[in-house]
């Protein structure tokens, strides 16, 4: 059954704050172009993703699937990324626990193929026109 998954920037606007998300794959650079490359099209079987979900569940940290930042120039499939429903707050003990699990002290990722990211509320506001009723329906008619 199809499931509606919210773009991460829409989640940020609805929460009115910076939001955290986890991507499973790698960060690639080709010339001036930077992009996220999913680890596996069958994200349900990604062992790192399974491991992270188990840890989030064991630590009572809410999460849900999320889409990439909305982009009017393309459509992207869901690749297994997760929105983590805790504030990006380096004074919050729950955030710090998550950060210690996912990152090394130098900020590099602790788990291979797992990228921990934040989307700023300010960046998300750039797409606020997407929240207008019927925006995506009108967009789809001309895509």
pLDDT tens-digit map of 60-85:
999 999 999 888 877 788 899 999 99
At residue 1, does pLDDT exceed 60? Answer: no
Go through the chain and tell me how many residues it has.
143
* Between residues 128 and 100, the one the model is more confident about: 100
Q: What is the pLDDT of residue 27?
A: 81
Are 12 and 18 in contact by the 8 Å Cβ rule? The answer is yes
C-alpha–C-alpha distance, residues 143 and 141, integer Å: 6
Report helix, strand or coil for 103: strand
- H helices present in 5-92, as ranges: 8-15, 47-58
Q: What is the pLDDT of residue 120?
A: 96
What confidence tens digit (pLDDT) does each residue in 4-47 have? Answer: 899 999 999 999 999 999 999 988 888 888 778 888 778 998 99
């Amino acid at each position: 059954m199809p499931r509606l998954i919210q773009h991460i920037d829409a989640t940020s606007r609805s929460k009115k704050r910076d939001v955290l998300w986890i991507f499973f794959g790698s960060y690639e650079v080709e010339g001036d172009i930077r992009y996220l490359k999913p680890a596996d099209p069958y994200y349900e079987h990604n062992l790192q993703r399974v491991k992270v979900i188990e840890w989030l569940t064991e630590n009572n940290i809410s999460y849900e699937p999320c889409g990439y930042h909305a982009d009017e120039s393309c459509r992207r499939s869901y690749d297994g990324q997760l929105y983590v429903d805790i504030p990006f707050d380096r004074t919050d003990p729950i955030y710090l626990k998550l950060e210690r699990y996912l990152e090394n002290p130098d900020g590099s990722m602790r788990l291979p193929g797992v990228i921990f990211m934040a989307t700023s509320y300010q960046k998300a506001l750039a797409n606020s026109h997407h929240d207008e009723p019927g925006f995506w329906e009108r967009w789809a008619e001309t895509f």
